[in-house]
Amino acid sequence: MLVLAVESSCDETAAAVVADGGKVLSNVVASQVEIHARYGGIVPEIASRKHIEAIGPVVSEALEKAGIASSGVEGVAVTRGPGLVGSLLVGLSFAKAFAFARDLPLVGVNHLEGHIAAIFLTDHPPVFPFVALVVSGGHTNIYLVRGVQEFKILGQTRDDAAGEAFDKAAKLLGIGYPGGVVIDRLAKDGDRNWWPFPRAMRESLDFSFSGLKTSLVTALKKRAFREGELPDLVASYQEAIVDVLVSKTIEAAHREQVKTIVVCGGVASNSRLRERFKENAVAAGVEVLVPPPSLCTDNAAMIAVVGNWLLEAGRRNGLDLNAVSRWPLDERCDQ
Protein backbone atom coordinates (compact mmCIF):
# COMPACT_ATOMS: atom_id res chain seq x y z
CA MET A 1 0.00 0.00 0.00
CA LEU A 2 1.24 3.51 -0.84
CA VAL A 3 0.93 5.48 2.40
CA LEU A 4 1.24 9.23 2.87
CA ALA A 5 2.27 9.99 6.47
CA VAL A 6 2.18 13.30 8.28
CA GLU A 7 4.06 14.12 11.51
CA SER A 8 3.83 17.40 13.45
CA SER A 9 4.01 16.44 17.12
CA CYS A 10 6.82 18.78 18.12
CA ASP A 11 8.92 21.26 16.14
CA GLU A 12 9.36 19.36 12.90
CA THR A 13 6.81 19.44 10.10
CA ALA A 14 7.24 16.19 8.21
CA ALA A 15 5.63 14.20 5.41
CA ALA A 16 6.68 10.96 3.73
CA VAL A 17 5.49 8.52 1.10
CA VAL A 18 6.34 4.90 1.88
CA ALA A 19 5.43 1.82 -0.17
CA ASP A 20 4.34 -1.35 1.68
CA GLY A 21 5.72 -0.10 5.01
CA GLY A 22 9.31 -0.56 3.93
CA LYS A 23 10.30 1.36 0.83
CA VAL A 24 10.79 5.08 1.44
CA LEU A 25 9.88 7.03 -1.71
CA SER A 26 10.26 10.40 0.02
CA ASN A 27 10.88 11.68 3.54
CA VAL A 28 10.67 15.46 3.92
CA VAL A 29 11.38 17.23 7.21
CA ALA A 30 11.05 20.99 7.72
CA SER A 31 12.75 21.90 10.98
CA GLN A 32 11.87 24.91 13.10
CA VAL A 33 15.09 24.60 15.10
CA GLU A 34 16.48 27.99 14.12
CA ILE A 35 13.37 29.79 15.31
CA HIS A 36 13.17 28.04 18.69
CA ALA A 37 16.96 28.28 19.22
CA ARG A 38 16.48 31.98 19.96
CA TYR A 39 14.40 31.04 22.99
CA GLY A 40 16.55 28.08 24.08
CA GLY A 41 13.58 25.72 23.78
CA ILE A 42 10.33 25.06 21.96
CA VAL A 43 7.67 27.77 22.18
CA PRO A 44 4.42 25.81 21.57
CA GLU A 45 2.44 28.76 20.18
CA ILE A 46 5.14 29.54 17.63
CA ALA A 47 5.47 25.84 16.75
CA SER A 48 1.76 25.58 15.86
CA ARG A 49 1.88 28.65 13.66
CA LYS A 50 4.98 27.44 11.82
CA HIS A 51 3.37 24.03 11.24
CA ILE A 52 0.41 25.77 9.59
CA GLU A 53 2.76 27.60 7.22
CA ALA A 54 4.85 24.52 6.41
CA ILE A 55 2.38 21.63 6.19
CA GLY A 56 1.01 22.30 2.66
CA PRO A 57 4.41 22.80 0.99
CA VAL A 58 5.96 19.86 2.91
CA VAL A 59 3.25 17.42 1.77
CA SER A 60 3.48 18.71 -1.82
CA GLU A 61 7.24 18.23 -1.75
CA ALA A 62 6.88 14.68 -0.37
CA LEU A 63 4.48 13.75 -3.20
CA GLU A 64 6.68 15.39 -5.79
CA LYS A 65 9.86 13.67 -4.57
CA ALA A 66 8.03 10.33 -4.51
CA GLY A 67 7.04 10.98 -8.11
CA ILE A 68 3.33 10.45 -7.52
CA ALA A 69 0.23 12.59 -7.87
CA SER A 70 -2.03 12.90 -4.82
CA SER A 71 -4.42 10.51 -6.60
CA GLY A 72 -1.75 7.80 -6.27
CA VAL A 73 -1.95 7.76 -2.46
CA GLU A 74 -3.80 4.71 -1.08
CA GLY A 75 -3.89 5.48 2.65
CA VAL A 76 -3.12 8.30 5.09
CA ALA A 77 -1.32 7.93 8.43
CA VAL A 78 -0.92 10.75 10.92
CA THR A 79 0.66 11.19 14.35
CA ARG A 80 -2.12 11.74 16.90
CA GLY A 81 0.10 11.80 20.01
CA PRO A 82 1.86 12.04 22.33
CA GLY A 83 3.08 15.60 21.71
CA LEU A 84 2.09 19.24 21.77
CA VAL A 85 -1.65 19.32 21.10
CA GLY A 86 -1.54 22.59 19.15
CA SER A 87 1.17 21.14 16.89
CA LEU A 88 -0.50 17.73 16.52
CA LEU A 89 -3.78 19.34 15.49
CA VAL A 90 -2.21 20.96 12.44
CA GLY A 91 -1.01 17.64 10.99
CA LEU A 92 -4.19 15.90 12.06
CA SER A 93 -6.48 18.47 10.41
CA PHE A 94 -4.44 18.40 7.22
CA ALA A 95 -4.41 14.58 7.08
CA LYS A 96 -8.16 14.39 7.70
CA ALA A 97 -8.89 16.90 4.94
CA PHE A 98 -6.54 15.11 2.54
CA ALA A 99 -8.15 11.73 3.24
CA PHE A 100 -11.72 13.05 3.18
CA ALA A 101 -11.27 14.89 -0.14
CA ARG A 102 -9.96 11.71 -1.82
CA ASP A 103 -12.07 9.18 0.06
CA LEU A 104 -8.95 7.48 1.48
CA PRO A 105 -8.62 5.41 4.66
CA LEU A 106 -7.12 7.35 7.58
CA VAL A 107 -5.35 6.06 10.67
CA GLY A 108 -3.86 7.76 13.75
CA VAL A 109 -0.40 6.62 14.89
CA ASN A 110 1.42 6.75 18.22
CA HIS A 111 4.62 8.79 17.83
CA LEU A 112 6.62 6.48 20.13
CA GLU A 113 5.58 3.43 18.17
CA GLY A 114 6.73 5.32 15.08
CA HIS A 115 10.19 5.81 16.61
CA ILE A 116 10.47 2.07 17.26
CA ALA A 117 9.13 1.22 13.78
CA ALA A 118 11.91 3.28 12.13
CA ILE A 119 14.15 0.21 12.48
CA PHE A 120 11.91 -1.63 9.98
CA LEU A 121 13.08 0.81 7.31
CA THR A 122 16.66 -0.44 7.60
CA ASP A 123 18.39 -3.42 5.98
CA HIS A 124 18.40 -5.26 9.31
CA PRO A 125 14.87 -5.28 10.73
CA PRO A 126 14.59 -7.11 14.07
CA VAL A 127 12.50 -10.18 14.77
CA PHE A 128 10.11 -10.14 17.71
CA PRO A 129 10.51 -10.14 20.64
CA PHE A 130 13.07 -7.40 21.26
CA VAL A 131 13.81 -4.75 23.85
CA ALA A 132 13.43 -1.13 22.68
CA LEU A 133 14.94 1.98 24.22
CA VAL A 134 12.97 5.04 23.12
CA VAL A 135 15.05 8.04 24.02
CA SER A 136 13.92 11.47 22.87
CA GLY A 137 13.23 15.01 24.02
CA GLY A 138 10.11 13.97 25.89
CA HIS A 139 10.57 10.26 26.63
CA THR A 140 13.07 7.79 28.03
CA ASN A 141 11.37 4.41 28.07
CA ILE A 142 12.44 0.78 27.87
CA TYR A 143 9.88 -1.65 26.40
CA LEU A 144 9.62 -5.31 25.72
CA VAL A 145 8.16 -5.44 22.20
CA ARG A 146 6.46 -8.78 21.66
CA GLY A 147 4.83 -7.95 18.33
CA VAL A 148 3.01 -5.20 16.45
CA GLN A 149 1.24 -3.13 19.13
CA GLU A 150 2.30 -5.53 21.90
CA PHE A 151 4.32 -3.52 24.37
CA LYS A 152 5.25 -4.03 27.97
CA ILE A 153 6.90 -1.11 29.74
CA LEU A 154 10.02 -2.20 31.63
CA GLY A 155 11.48 1.14 32.67
CA GLN A 156 10.83 4.84 32.32
CA THR A 157 12.07 8.16 33.56
CA ARG A 158 10.74 9.39 36.87
CA ASP A 159 11.45 13.02 35.96
CA ASP A 160 13.31 14.50 32.96
CA ALA A 161 13.85 12.69 29.65
CA ALA A 162 17.44 12.12 28.48
CA GLY A 163 16.98 14.62 25.64
CA GLU A 164 15.77 17.15 28.17
CA ALA A 165 18.90 16.55 30.25
CA PHE A 166 20.98 17.43 27.18
CA ASP A 167 18.85 20.44 26.28
CA LYS A 168 18.74 21.87 29.81
CA ALA A 169 22.51 21.54 30.27
CA ALA A 170 23.19 23.30 26.97
CA LYS A 171 20.82 26.09 27.95
CA LEU A 172 22.53 26.44 31.33
CA LEU A 173 25.93 26.61 29.66
CA GLY A 174 24.63 28.95 26.95
CA ILE A 175 26.02 26.81 24.15
CA GLY A 176 23.00 26.46 21.87
CA TYR A 177 19.89 24.46 21.00
CA PRO A 178 19.08 21.60 20.59
CA GLY A 179 21.48 20.68 23.35
CA GLY A 180 22.03 17.07 22.34
CA VAL A 181 23.46 17.99 18.97
CA VAL A 182 25.78 20.69 20.38
CA ILE A 183 27.01 18.54 23.29
CA ASP A 184 27.56 15.54 20.99
CA ARG A 185 29.84 17.68 18.81
CA LEU A 186 31.73 19.43 21.64
CA ALA A 187 32.21 16.23 23.65
CA LYS A 188 34.20 14.56 20.87
CA ASP A 189 37.39 16.31 22.04
CA GLY A 190 36.63 16.07 25.74
CA ASP A 191 37.86 13.97 28.66
CA ARG A 192 34.90 11.82 29.72
CA ASN A 193 36.31 11.30 33.21
CA TRP A 194 36.94 14.97 33.95
CA TRP A 195 34.04 15.34 36.38
CA PRO A 196 32.28 12.54 38.32
CA PHE A 197 28.63 13.16 37.47
CA PRO A 198 26.22 10.84 39.31
CA ARG A 199 24.54 7.75 37.83
CA ALA A 200 21.13 7.61 39.48
CA MET A 201 18.94 4.60 40.38
CA ARG A 202 21.49 1.91 39.66
CA GLU A 203 19.33 -0.98 40.84
CA SER A 204 16.21 -0.14 38.86
CA LEU A 205 15.29 -0.08 35.17
CA ASP A 206 13.76 3.36 35.76
CA PHE A 207 15.71 6.53 35.06
CA SER A 208 16.15 9.85 36.84
CA PHE A 209 17.96 12.71 35.16
CA SER A 210 16.88 15.75 37.16
CA GLY A 211 19.67 15.26 39.73
CA LEU A 212 22.21 15.35 36.92
CA LYS A 213 21.25 18.90 36.02
CA THR A 214 21.49 19.90 39.70
CA SER A 215 24.95 18.36 39.92
CA LEU A 216 25.98 20.34 36.85
CA VAL A 217 24.89 23.53 38.64
CA THR A 218 26.87 22.41 41.71
CA ALA A 219 29.93 21.57 39.59
CA LEU A 220 29.81 25.02 38.01
CA LYS A 221 29.67 26.63 41.47
CA LYS A 222 32.49 24.51 42.91
CA ARG A 223 34.86 25.05 40.10
CA ALA A 224 35.04 27.95 37.69
CA PHE A 225 35.97 26.02 34.58
CA ARG A 226 38.03 27.64 31.87
CA GLU A 227 36.70 27.86 28.35
CA GLY A 228 39.17 25.22 27.16
CA GLU A 229 37.61 22.78 29.62
CA LEU A 230 34.11 22.99 28.13
CA PRO A 231 34.61 19.83 26.03
CA ASP A 232 35.72 17.96 29.18
CA LEU A 233 32.71 19.17 31.12
CA VAL A 234 30.16 18.19 28.46
CA ALA A 235 31.94 14.91 27.69
CA SER A 236 31.67 13.93 31.37
CA TYR A 237 28.04 14.99 31.47
CA GLN A 238 27.21 13.10 28.28
CA GLU A 239 28.98 9.99 29.58
CA ALA A 240 26.79 9.97 32.68
CA ILE A 241 23.65 9.96 30.49
CA VAL A 242 25.02 7.39 28.05
CA ASP A 243 26.22 5.12 30.86
CA VAL A 244 22.79 4.66 32.43
CA LEU A 245 20.99 4.35 29.08
CA VAL A 246 23.31 1.59 27.92
CA SER A 247 23.57 -0.37 31.16
CA LYS A 248 19.85 -0.36 31.99
CA THR A 249 18.81 -1.34 28.46
CA ILE A 250 21.25 -4.25 28.41
CA GLU A 251 20.09 -5.27 31.89
CA ALA A 252 16.47 -5.21 30.62
CA ALA A 253 17.40 -7.52 27.73
CA HIS A 254 19.07 -9.92 30.19
CA ARG A 255 16.07 -9.91 32.51
CA GLU A 256 13.69 -10.61 29.62
CA GLN A 257 16.11 -13.11 28.05
CA VAL A 258 15.96 -11.25 24.77
CA LYS A 259 18.92 -11.11 22.38
CA THR A 260 18.01 -8.02 20.35
CA ILE A 261 17.92 -4.36 21.40
CA VAL A 262 16.53 -1.54 19.27
CA VAL A 263 17.61 2.00 20.16
CA CYS A 264 15.53 4.85 18.73
CA GLY A 265 14.35 8.46 19.16
CA GLY A 266 16.28 11.72 18.72
CA VAL A 267 18.93 10.94 21.35
CA ALA A 268 19.72 7.67 19.53
CA SER A 269 21.52 9.82 16.96
CA ASN A 270 24.13 10.62 19.66
CA SER A 271 27.47 9.33 18.43
CA ARG A 272 28.80 8.32 21.85
CA LEU A 273 25.58 6.44 22.68
CA ARG A 274 25.83 4.53 19.40
CA GLU A 275 29.49 3.76 20.04
CA ARG A 276 28.92 2.58 23.63
CA PHE A 277 25.99 0.37 22.66
CA LYS A 278 28.13 -1.24 19.98
CA GLU A 279 31.05 -1.81 22.39
CA ASN A 280 28.94 -3.17 25.24
CA ALA A 281 26.68 -5.32 23.08
CA VAL A 282 29.49 -7.67 22.15
CA ALA A 283 30.44 -8.31 25.77
CA ALA A 284 26.77 -8.70 26.71
CA GLY A 285 26.04 -11.12 23.88
CA VAL A 286 23.21 -9.05 22.44
CA GLU A 287 22.64 -7.52 19.03
CA VAL A 288 21.99 -3.78 19.03
CA LEU A 289 20.14 -2.20 16.12
CA VAL A 290 20.02 1.58 15.67
CA PRO A 291 18.42 3.38 12.70
CA PRO A 292 20.56 5.93 10.84
CA PRO A 293 20.46 9.38 12.53
CA SER A 294 17.97 10.79 9.98
CA LEU A 295 15.46 8.12 11.03
CA CYS A 296 16.15 8.64 14.77
CA THR A 297 15.04 12.27 14.92
CA ASP A 298 11.42 13.10 14.16
CA ASN A 299 10.29 12.16 10.65
CA ALA A 300 7.16 10.91 8.90
CA ALA A 301 8.57 7.76 7.26
CA MET A 302 8.52 6.04 10.66
CA ILE A 303 4.85 7.01 11.03
CA ALA A 304 4.11 5.51 7.62
CA VAL A 305 5.50 2.12 8.72
CA VAL A 306 3.02 1.87 11.61
CA GLY A 307 0.28 3.38 9.44
CA ASN A 308 0.82 0.66 6.86
CA TRP A 309 0.62 -2.12 9.50
CA LEU A 310 -2.63 -0.71 10.88
CA LEU A 311 -4.26 0.04 7.53
CA GLU A 312 -3.36 -3.41 6.18
CA ALA A 313 -4.98 -4.88 9.32
CA GLY A 314 -8.15 -2.96 8.51
CA ARG A 315 -7.85 -0.26 11.17
CA ARG A 316 -9.56 3.03 10.32
CA ASN A 317 -10.16 6.27 12.15
CA GLY A 318 -12.96 8.69 11.45
CA LEU A 319 -12.94 12.43 11.09
CA ASP A 320 -13.57 12.68 14.84
CA LEU A 321 -9.98 11.51 15.48
CA ASN A 322 -8.51 13.77 18.15
CA ALA A 323 -5.00 14.76 19.23
CA VAL A 324 -3.73 13.41 22.56
CA SER A 325 -0.88 14.93 24.55
CA ARG A 326 -0.33 11.77 26.60
CA TRP A 327 -0.59 8.27 25.16
CA PRO A 328 1.40 5.47 26.85
CA LEU A 329 2.29 2.78 24.32
CA ASP A 330 0.92 -0.01 26.47
CA GLU A 331 -2.51 1.62 26.71
CA ARG A 332 -5.21 1.57 24.09
CA CYS A 333 -6.43 4.98 23.06
CA ASP A 334 -10.16 4.94 22.41
CA GLN A 335 -10.78 8.65 22.89
Q: Which residues bind ligand KG4 (CB under 6 A)?
A: 10, 136-138, 163, 166-167, 178-181, 184, 265-267, 269-270, 297-298
Question: Which DSSP state fits 157?
Answer: B
Sign of CA dihedral 281, 135, 122, 252: positive
Does residue 136 interact with Zn ion by CB under 5 A?
yes
**Residue 137 Cβ, how far from ligand KG4 at the closest point, in Å?**
3
One symbol per residue from 244 to 283: x for binding Zn ion (CB under 5 A), - otherwise; what is it? Answer: ----------------------------------------
Count of residues of this chain found to bind Zn ion when the rule CB under 5 A is applied: 2
Sign of CA dihedral 184, 187, 188, 192: negative
Tally Cβ neighbours within 10 Å of residue 325.
13
Buried b (16+ CB within 10 A) or exposed e, 185-195: ebbeebebebb
Calpha distance 184→311 (Å, rounded): 38
For residue 149, which of 296, 16, 307 has the smallest C-alpha distance? 307
**Residue 285 Cβ, how far from Zn ion at the closest point, in Å?**
30
Comparison of 105 and 141: residue with beta carbon closer to ligand KG4: 141
Q: Which does 7 bind (CB under 5 to 8 A by kind): ligand KG4, Zn ion, none?
A: none
Q: Which does 184 bind (CB under 5 to 8 A by kind): ligand KG4, Zn ion, none?
A: ligand KG4
**Residue 94 Cβ, how far from ligand KG4 at the closest point, in Å?**
19
Does residue 11 interact with Zn ion by CB under 5 A?
no
8 Å CB contact between 304 and 78: no
- Alpha-helical (H) ranges within 257-329 are 271-284, 293-296, 301-312
**Residue 147 Cβ, how far from ligand KG4 at the closest point, in Å?**
23
**Residue 118 Cβ, how far from Zn ion at the closest point, in Å?**
10
Grouping H, G, I as helix, E, B as strand and the rest as coil, residue 187 is: helix
Comparison of 32 and 297: residue with beta carbon closer to ligand KG4: 297
Site residues (vs Zn ion, CB under 5 A): 136, 298
